[in-house]
Chain A
Amino acid sequence: MFRFFVRRLIGAAVIMLIISAVTFFLFYAIPRDPARAFCGKICSPTNLELIRHNLGMDDPLFVQYWHWLTGIFTGRDLVQFGACAAPCLGYSFATQEPVFAAILDRFPVTVSVTLGAAVVILSFGIVTGMIAAWQQGKPLDKIASTSSVIGASLQIYFVGPLVVFFVVDSMGLLPRPSYIPFTEDPLGWFVHLLIPWFVLSIIFTANYTRMTRSVMVEQLAEDYVRTARAKGMSSRTVFLRFAWRGAMIPIVTIFGVDLATLLGGAIITEQTFTLHGIGELAVRAVQNTDLPMLLGVTLVGAFAIVILNIVVDMLYAVIDPRVRLG
């Protein structure tokens, strides 16, 4: 177990190092000069040179990357903006705010949207998939299958405004989506995020319905499930205790794969409902060629996915006693 963590954490560090390096060097492939953005309308070559120097942009690329990397652990002194304490991800070229603080500030929004949607996806997807498998070939199964096909073909930026129009504007059932910190008002947090959760989960839920149905049907044909029936276990016990156990493994696997897509979906959802999360930061950073922000966001996203994948691997070991972490 200990060895598992050490190994996985080292692996995670390596992955993030690679991702940050790739982002860093790719960024410099874009022929745009961020120093110019700070230089103002009348920009003398000396001035530009000075800004370059202050941003550390006159060093060779590798040195710049090294400075950026060590800054995370030791902090650094950025002349243009002042001191930057560890963990220092630099200052945004566009807004001049410290990147780490900006990310920290928006982190709860994205976490709320993503985790809430994940809960909806898993609970609804699995429950409807189980019902469909239980009712194989009967009307409920057909309804679940059909609606999952429809759900999978919907788009967030299309459904989002539609839902807001009907549920918020016309019927006034829910408040307009926004982010209220959980610590301030848990109920408000919940109510204001219901629509984003619903919209983000639609596409995924449909997938999980279909998948749960098919893995359950597969599991029901397994030898050990037949043994359970041969022992006199009731159909419900067989379904919920035996078949379900085996079905969880492929579901967890796919969920691990879907995490990145889900984060991507969360960014689109934030944009759709103008929630001020990491997604907004990411989109703006790309638009403004804001290297520090872009690197910071990429790193945080990668970090989240890497950690969640470790969690998924631990889940395997909980579900299946044959899996040993190590």
Chain B
Amino acid sequence: MTTVTWDREPATPRGPGTFLSVRDLSVEFSTEDGVVHAVDALSFDLQKGTTLGIVGESGSGKSVSNLAILGLHDPTQTKLGGEIWLEDQDLLRASRSTMEKLRGNRIAMIFQDPLTSLSPYHTVGRQISEVYRKHKGASRAEARARAVEMLERVGIPHARTRVDDYPHQFSGGMRQRVMIAMALVCDPDLIIADEPTTALDVTVQAQILDLLKDLQQQFGTSIILITHDLGVVANTAHNVLVMYAGRAVEQGTTHEVLREPRHPYTWGLLGSMPKLSSNVDLPLLPVRGTPPSLLSPPPGCPFHPRCDHRQLVGSDVCATERPELSPAEGHRDACYLTLAQKREIFDGKIKELL
């Protein structure tokens, strides 16, 4: 059973035009070693027709939080808390059949590895058309015609014949297009793309991202784009959420977060990104240390053991008390440094290294 802790009223303030609203989401896995706190008190909003980029190191809870939106966690070992509002429906408390009707229909997911994520045993046409038949009640012939149309839309040449091919007969980029065609077949309102281009080379990557952008402009789709690649975020996302150890540490518009980053972890992320333009002799600045164990996350700020600036805070509040995101609206981050300190450190030390 999915256990849901319901500790407050569902009436949650949401901005106008907010399409998806995640409130205090927590995801815990019971494992043999103990409870993994994969996501902790995560909140974010997504407006209609916009793209939210979610970035963070491997293991920061990006996939886990988005699988929770679709309700894809194994209920026997997962404990979910908080609320996930899609318009006026709380997805965490929706029935199984409600969720089955939403998945693939209003919310679609594009997974990272299209080779393992597509069924090797069914033709791409069948995999695309079965979604359409399931949700739109289309006939076999209609659904097949729709599959061909979708393959054409995502730029697969000779779609009419390729519809009967199996995934292994496509190249990596083409497979990812198939994946996208499958996600789009029911004209979803929300697409969750979990590292959709990680496995692809840069040219194909750019084509796929352009494709998503075009679709967004045409159909007003909202997109959550999970990625390691800040370059991708800069090009495609309207807003950015930086995650660390299952929590949001900074969020704001893409411009705010990438141009005036405030959280030391975001600085680290930006510093560890190689740049074509930079001098090859300049070292990259990876974040020192390793991500914390999610079995027993450190008290206080989860980033404090790796933070280079905590002595500026004065007291040891970093190690004892968890910083909240502030301010309440707009560009926010969870760090005890004052805004002036952050600006000074960034302008003085960090900026030149980026």
- List residues of A whose CB falls within 8 A of some B CB: 136-137, 222-224, 226-235, 242, 245-246, 319-322
Cα of A321 to Cα of B134 in the assembled complex, Å: 24
Q: Which of the residues A137, A224, A245, A319 comes within 8 Å of B117, measured between beta carbons?
A: A224
Q: Are B131 and A321 in contact (CB under 8 A)?
A: no
Task: Write out the residue numbers on chain A whose beta carbons fall within 8 Å of the beta carbon of B116.
Answer: 222-224
Tell me whether A230 and B109 are in contact in the complex, defined as CB-CB below 8 angstroms, given that A222-B116, A224-B116, A321-B166 are known contacts.
yes
- Residues facing A in B77-125 (CB within 8 A) are 96, 100-105, 108-109, 111, 113, 116-122
Q: Are B168 and A321 in contact (CB under 8 A)?
A: yes
Report B193 CB to chain A, min CB distance, Å.
12
0/1 interface trace, chain B 49-89, chain A, CB 8 Å (1 if under)? 00000000000000000000010100010000000000000
Given pairs A227-B117, A229-B103, A245-B119, 12 additional interface contacts (CB within 8 A): A223-B117, A224-B116, A224-B118, A224-B119, A230-B72, A231-B103, A232-B131, A233-B134, A235-B96, A242-B119, A320-B120, A321-B120
Answer whether residue B182 sits at the interface, using C-beta atoms and an 8 A cutoff: yes
Q: How many A-B residue pairs have CB under 8 A?
A: 69
Find the A residue at minimum CB distance from B105.
Answer: A232
Report B97 CB to chain A, min CB distance, Å.
8
A–B pairs, 29, beta carbons within 8 Å: A137-B76, A223-B111, A223-B113, A223-B117, A227-B109, A227-B111, A227-B117, A227-B118, A227-B119, A229-B103, A230-B104, A230-B109, A230-B111, A231-B104, A231-B108, A231-B134, A232-B100, A232-B104, A232-B131, A232-B135, A233-B130, A233-B134, A245-B122, A246-B121, A320-B120, A320-B121, A321-B120, A322-B120, A322-B166
Cα of A242 to Cα of B134 in the assembled complex, Å: 15
Question: For the complex, would chain A's binding face be called helix, strand, loop or mixed by DSSP majority?
Answer: helix
Report B132 CB to chain A, min CB distance, Å.
10
Task: Write out the residue numbers on chain A whose beta carbons fall within 8 Å of the beta carbon of B113.
Answer: 223
Task: Write out the residue numbers on chain A whose beta carbons fall within 8 Å of the beta carbon of B96.
Answer: 235
Number of interface residues of B (CB under 8 A): 28
Task: Write out the residue numbers on chain A whose beta carbons fall within 8 Å of the beta carbon of B135.
Answer: 232
Q: Are A232 and B76 in contact (CB under 8 A)?
A: no
Tell me whether A230 and B103 are in contact in the complex, defined as CB-CB below 8 angstroms, given that A137-B76, A320-B120 are known contacts.
yes
Cα of A228 to Cα of B102 in the assembled complex, Å: 13
Task: Write out the residue numbers on chain B whose beta carbons fall within 8 Å of the beta carbon of A321.
Answer: 120-121, 166, 168
Task: Write out the residue numbers on chain B whose beta carbons fall within 8 Å of the beta carbon of A234.
Answer: 100
Cα of A231 to Cα of B129 in the assembled complex, Å: 11
Report A239 CB to chain B, min CB distance, Å.
13
Report B164 CB to chain A, min CB distance, Å.
11
Most-contacted residue by chain B among A222, A230, A234 (CB, 10 A): A230
Q: Are B120 and A224 in contact (CB under 8 A)?
A: yes
Report B194 CB to chain A, min CB distance, Å.
10
Report A240 CB to chain B, min CB distance, Å.
13
Task: Write out the residue numbers on chain A whose beta carbons fall within 8 Å of the beta carbon of B131.
Answer: 231-232
Pairs A-B, 5 closest by C-beta atoms: A231-B104, A232-B104, A232-B103, A223-B116, A245-B121
Q: Are A229 and B72 in contact (CB under 8 A)?
A: yes
Cα of A224 to Cα of B111 in the assembled complex, Å: 10
Tell me whether A226 and B166 are in contact in the complex, defined as CB-CB below 8 angstroms, given that A231-B134, A319-B121, A320-B121 are known contacts.
no
Cα of A246 to Cα of B117 in the assembled complex, Å: 13
